[in-house]
Amino acid sequence: MKILVTGARGQLGNELKRLFDTMRAEIGSIDNVYVNAEVDYVDYDDLDISDAVAVRTWLDQHGPYQLIINCAAITNVDGCERDEAGAYRVNAMGAENLARAAESSAAKFVHVSTDYVFPGVDPISRTEDDAVRPISAYGRTKWAGEVLVRSSCSRAFIVRTAWLYGYVGKNFVKTMMRLAREAGKISVVADQYGNPTSANDLAYEILKIAATEEYGTYHATNKGTCSWFDFACAIVDGVGISCEKESLTSAEYKQRFPQSADRPAFSSLENKHLANTVGDEMRPWQDALADYLKNLPELEG
């Protein structure tokens, strides 16, 4: 099998590489269909996915691929608010270019999306069937990408996730640990709720889904809902850092950072389609975080 992974130097891309190299995730072994897979890992300086000609040329020169996994995205929520057009080029047009390329070459296509397609105004975990209404530029551009992928590729898996953290690269977990050590204090929003998600667990489920022909939209997050403040406290307590913990309301955070984008108040996802098809093996978020904190000193990049 020949596979293309875009956004390969990001958190999820690195975990996919780890799984392909070892044939294992923290959850368990990946499908034997990936034994001896030939994988091309590309990032933005290798391939600009927003350039349709560049995408076609890459596939002509390096394909054919049986599977394309798109981890490339502009994920800086506040940055997307400042440059929605730029975010749209990558998050929507780039996704469409890859989806069309997958369709023309009869490849399966996995596109990673986000909980931010939902407004988060009701305290209810959202399933794949619920109506979307993004409230930020990031959410709007990712939703546009979903729409374009569905219309461009008949063999597409759209996988929404949330609050992702991996071993390689920057993330909320590492930021909280750094702030707690350096400043002796963390100040975190306590009225926004969602699902902390291990990139290692997500990579496992993506590869499990992609080994099937159960095309469609999936939610894939670790189980359980918490606030950003709950998550932050679990992080610093989990590594034994003693620090002051300040909880903020969204309004207080907005006062301190008036240019910040609006976030959903409750963006928890339910892995309904996953459970009804290939099976939901995503762990409780506390268990995934505990393994992450234990393994981080060895695997951090």
Catalytic residues: 138
Exposure string for 246-281, b = 16+ CB within 10 A, e = fewer: ebbebeebbeeeeeebbbbbbbbbbbbbbeeebebb
Question: Which of these, 294, 299, 293, lies nearest to 231 by C-alpha position?
Answer: 293
Do the Cβ atoms of 113 and 149 come closer than 8 Å? Answer: no
Residues 6+ away with beta carbon under 8 Å from 202: 12, 15, 159, 161, 164, 220, 221, 282
Residue 20: both structure tokens together: 């392909």
Do the Cβ atoms of 174 and 231 come closer than 8 Å? Answer: no
